[in-house]
Amino acid sequence: MTITPPAPTRIDVTTFSGKDHLLGLIREEYSHTLEMVTGTSEQEWDLPTPCSMWQVRDLVGHLLDVSFSYIGYFKQGERGWPTQEPKGMRAYGAGLGKSALLHHDLDKWEALSRLDACNELLFGYFDKLTEDEWSGRLVPHGWVGPVPAFMMAAFQLMDYSVHNWDFRKALGREATVHADSANTLTPFMFGLMQLCFAPEVAGDLDLTVCIEISPAEGDVWTVRIADGALTYEPGRPAAPDATFTFGCAEFCLDVYQRIQGGQATGKAESIEAFRKLFFTI
């Protein structure tokens, strides 16, 4: 008989009591990044990754670009300086794809040194956030607009968790997402779904979807598509048109469109329609 261990208890990192947990996961994921990338050969540094525009070196360039941007966002907020209208997620993939390539010609050790220096400053910003600031301080973000400070840390965990999967895939290693990171990120994946929802594809679609995250008992969510919008909430819908069952890591990779995961049941046309509702970032 196979006994499946229970999923780790999910800590609510949107509250200050979850701050240490979230920052610990980010540091752990970053440590995995450095371990993988510092060990790359000259040939591996130039290998293609699952991100179509990038080699391994460009994936490092992306992480450097993002960390540098986040430091600027925190400083911009501190100064109270004006911000531009957010560019929006439609432009996100192409925009960050190109900006990562600005670092393409950096020597590996210079790129990693810059990344490490930026993260020392960025993680310092995270560490200094007080209880009031964790959820009460808004930080400007060039793509999605002002967000609570904890979201800047959550974005970093998304970046390192998913891109560590990309690094592993590129380097021929077993491609995984750390179980605790994936479990922590699960609620945020519904927000990412909402950001990447394509209303013009949905049209007048009226759809109720149940999403079950296994193996945790009761980790069930309702996603509604109606009036050209996507909404979500915890809990099981009464009569879903389709049900998708995912593992935590599988769910994160599916939402990021690295894989098409999940076991789907229900109306075939509803399953197919739901799969097509999201644009790529």
Rounded Cα distance, 25 and 27, in Å:
5
For 109-164, how does the pLDDT look when each residue is reduced to its tens digit (9 = 90+)? 999 999 999 999 999 999 999 999 999 999 999 999 999 999 999 999 999 999 99
Using alpha carbons only, how large is the chain's radius of gyration in Å?
A: 19
Contacts of 43 (CB under 8 A, 6+ apart): none
Rounded Cα distance, 158 and 218, in Å:
24
* Confidence check: pLDDT of 1 > 90: no
Contact call for residues 46 and 56 (beta carbons, < 8 A): yes
| Burial readout 137-165 (b: 16 or more C-beta within 10 A, e: otherwise) | bebbbbbbeebbbbbbbbbbbbbbbbbbb
The pLDDT, as a whole number, for residue 9 is: 76
Averaged pLDDT, 244-270: 96
Contact call for residues 128 and 24 (beta carbons, < 8 A): no
Contact call for residues 213 and 37 (beta carbons, < 8 A): no
Contact call for residues 215 and 223 (beta carbons, < 8 A): no
Strands 138-139 and 147-148: antiparallel
Which residues on adjacent β-strands are paired with residue 231?
A: 224
The pLDDT, as a whole number, for residue 216 is: 74
* Confidence check: pLDDT of 2 > 60: no
The overall average pLDDT reported for the chain is 95
For 183-224, how does the pLDDT look when each residue is reduced to its tens digit (9 = 90+)? 999 999 999 999 999 999 999 999 999 999 987 778 999 999
Query: What's the pTM value of the predicted model, to 2 decimals?
Result: 0.94
Residue 189: phi and psi, rounded to 5, are -65, -30
- What percent of the chain has pLDDT above 90? 93
Place of tokens 């999923």: 7
